[in-house]
Amino acid sequence: EDQVTQSPEALRLQEGESSSLNCSYTVSGLRGLFWYRQDPGKGPEFLFTLYSAGEEKEKERLKATLTKKESFLHITAPKPEDSATYLCAVRLRYSSASKIIFGSGTRLSIRP
């Protein structure tokens, strides 16, 4: 069964304390992996798309990496404004447009 699992469910960090969020996937074939940020009461906001193992993308304090089984979202020296829920989603290869599987997210809280 195709599955996407995010860990941890929640993470509390001190401002400046770097860490990583994990997204592991078990799918029949990967077309692309997406990272989104979601603030309370708002829709998910696109961050990155990764397509193949070894690929990396960066944006400000965020860096996303991809292996054949998982993706990491590394947060370097986070600030309180980085607090949000981070969602990962996988689009399957050899599938219709409908086959995008979302993980349940990691709630990140950064204390000043």
Partner 1 sequence: NAGVTQTPKFQVLKTGQSMTLQCAQDMNHEYMSWYRQDPGMGLRLIHYSVGAGITDQGEVPNGYNVSRSTTEDFPLRLLSAAPSQTSVYFCASSYSTPGLAADTQYFGPGTRLTVL
- What mask of x and - would describe binding to partner 1 in positions 31 to 50, judged by CB under 8 A? -x-x-x----xxxxxx--x-
The footprint of partner 1 on residues 56-85 (CB under 8 A) is none
DSSP letter for 52, please.
Answer: S
Burial class (CB in 10 A: 0-12, 13-18, 19+), 68: exposed
Least distance (Å) between residue 19 CB and partner 1: 22
Alpha carbon of 63 to those of 2, 77, 96: distances in Å? 25, 12, 29
Distance CA 66, CA 49 (A): 10
Nearer to partner 1 by Cβ, of 36 and 72: the residue is 36
Is residue 92 at the binding interface for partner 1, with CB under 8 A as the rule?
Answer: no
Contact positions vs partner 1 (CB under 8 A) = 4, 32, 34, 36, 41-46, 49, 51, 87, 89, 91, 96-98, 100-105
